[in-house]
Amino acid sequence: MKAFGVFLLGAAIALPALCALAAAGPSRPVVVGYVFPRGAVLQPGQIRAKSMNRINYAFANIQSGRIVAGFPADEQNFAYLNALKRENPSLTVLVSVGGWLWSGGFSDMALTATSRQTFIQSVMEFLGSNHLDGLDVDWEYPGSVGAGNRFRSEDKQNYTLLLKELRAAFDQETRRTHKRLFLTTAAGATDEFVGNTEMAQVAKYVDTVNLMTYDYTEPGVDPLTGHNAPLYANPADARHASADASVRAFERAGVPAAKILLGVPFYGRMWGEVGTGNHGLFQVGKALARESPWAGLRPDELLNRGFARYWDTAASVPYLYNAQEHVFVSYDDAESLTVKSRYVRAHRLGGVMFWEYFNDPSGKLLDAVNLSLHGRAAE
C-alpha cells in the first residue's frame, strides 16, 4: 500500500498527458486494421498479434438506441482478441459500431441529449463487459442516405455532440479506472462528408479519423473504369479524386495531419466488357463484382492466365487488364502500399488503416505496410 500515494500522483500527471495525446494524435505511425469475422468464431493463429497497433472489430449494431453485439460469437471473439495482448502488450482492441449496412440507427440515436445518453451508457456497459479499449464510430453517413438510411440536416451538429459526449464519458471513466479509452471515427473521403460534418470540432474529441480513402470508383455505380484507391489523381480521370486530395480536404477542414489515418483497401474492383483503349483504364465497362478480396482476386494467378499488370505513374497504383476477356481490375499491391505508407510518413499522418484483415491471408499486404512504416514485417 505504500506505493498508493505515488500511484495517485502518477495518475494525476498521466491524465493531462493522455488528454494532450488525444489532442495531438499518435506520435508514431500506427497500423490499424478492421477485423470482420462475419459471424465466425476466431481460431488460434488466425490473427498475428504483432501485426497491428489497434484492431477495430466489425461490427456492433444499434438497436432501440443502444449498442448491441452484431453476431452471436462476438463475446467469444473479444476474449480471443484480448488474449493477443499477452503477445503484444501495446495492442488495443476497439469495437466498431455501424458500418455501411448497420448505420440506420445513428440519426435517431444522436437526435437528442437523452437519446445520446442512452446510447453512451450502453457503450460504457458494452466496453466494460467485454474488456475493450474503446469505440470506433462508423456512421455512414451523417446528413446523407448511405445504404438507404434515415438522415437529417441536424446530423451535422449531432455527430459532433455524440463524439463530444462520448469523449466526456470516456474521460470520466479514465479518471475512475486509470485506463485510457480510445475514441475514433471512420470518415467518408468525400467533399460531401466534409460538408455534412464539423470536422474541426470532431477532431478535438477523437483520437484518430480513419479516412476511408478507397471506393473512389465502383463498378455498377461509375460508368467508366478507374482506380479504387488512387493515391494521386490522374489528369486523365474526369473524377479528379484521390487519397491525397481527400487528406488535404480534411486538413483544410481542421483535422490535424497527426490524427488522420490513411485508409487502404485489401480488396479490388472488377469490370467486364471493357474496351482495349489505354489497357482498359478510364473506359466504359460493366460490373463483374462490386468488391473482391485480395485472396479472391489472386493477382499472381491472373497474371498466368492472360492478364497483364500496368502501373499508373500519375496515380501511383497498379491495375490489371485482360485484352482477350476484356476484364479490368483495380487493386492495391505491395508496391502501391509501400508508396502509400511512405506518403503517410512524409506527410506526418497518424498512420495507416486497412479494410480488412481476412482479405490478405498471405500477409504480404500487411507486411508491406509494416516494412514501410516501421522498417520490419509483422511477426
Tell me the pLDDT tens digit for each residue of 304-320. Answer: 889 999 999 999 999 99
Q: pLDDT tens, 82-98?
A: 999 999 999 999 999 99
Query: Confidence band (pLDDT; 50, 70, 90) for 263?
Result: very high
2 has pLDDT over 60: no
Mean predicted lDDT score pLDDT of the chain: 92
Q: What percent of the chain has pLDDT over 90?
A: 87
pLDDT number for residue 292: 84
pLDDT number for residue 20: 42
What the block records as the C-alpha cell of 168 is: 466526456
What the block records as the C-alpha cell of 308 is: 497483364
Distance, in Å, from the CA atom of 185 to the CA atom of 202, rounded to the nearest integer, reads 9
Distance, in Å, from the CA atom of 164 to the CA atom of 336, rounded to the nearest integer, reads 36
67 has pLDDT over 50: yes
Nearest to 95 by CA among 125, 139, 58, 41: 58
Range 41-68 average pLDDT: 97
Residue 310 resides in a domain: no
DSSP 60-126: EEEETTEEE-SSTTHHHHHHHHHHGGGT-TT-EEEEEEE-SSS-TTHHHHTSSHHHHHHHHHHHHHH
Q: pLDDT tens, 314-342?
A: 999 999 999 999 999 999 999 999 999 99
Residue 12 resides in a domain: no
Residue 79 resides in a domain: yes
pLDDT number for residue 14: 39
184 has pLDDT over 70: yes
Residue 163 resides in a domain: yes
Classify residue 137 by its DSSP letter. Answer: E
Q: Annotated catalytic sites, by residue?
A: 140
Domain that includes residue 352, residue range: 20-265+332-374
10 has pLDDT over 60: no
pTM over 0.85: yes
pLDDT number for residue 378: 66
Domains in the chain, number = 1
Interhelix angle 155-177/113-130, rounded to 10 degrees, is 40
Range 89-117 average pLDDT: 98
Residue 273 resides in a domain: no
202 has pLDDT over 80: yes
More confident residue, 36 or 12: 36
363 three-class SS: coil
Residue 274 resides in a domain: no
11 has pLDDT over 90: no
Residue 73 resides in a domain: yes
pLDDT number for residue 26: 53
Residue 285 resides in a domain: no
C-alpha dihedral over 90, 93, 94, 100, to 10 degrees?
120
Q: pLDDT tens, 143-167?
A: 999 999 999 999 999 999 999 999 9
Looking from the CA of 134 toward its CB, the CA atoms found within 13 Å total 26
Distance, in Å, from the CA atom of 95 to the CA atom of 74, rounded to the nearest integer, reads 10
117 has pLDDT over 70: yes
182 has pLDDT over 90: yes
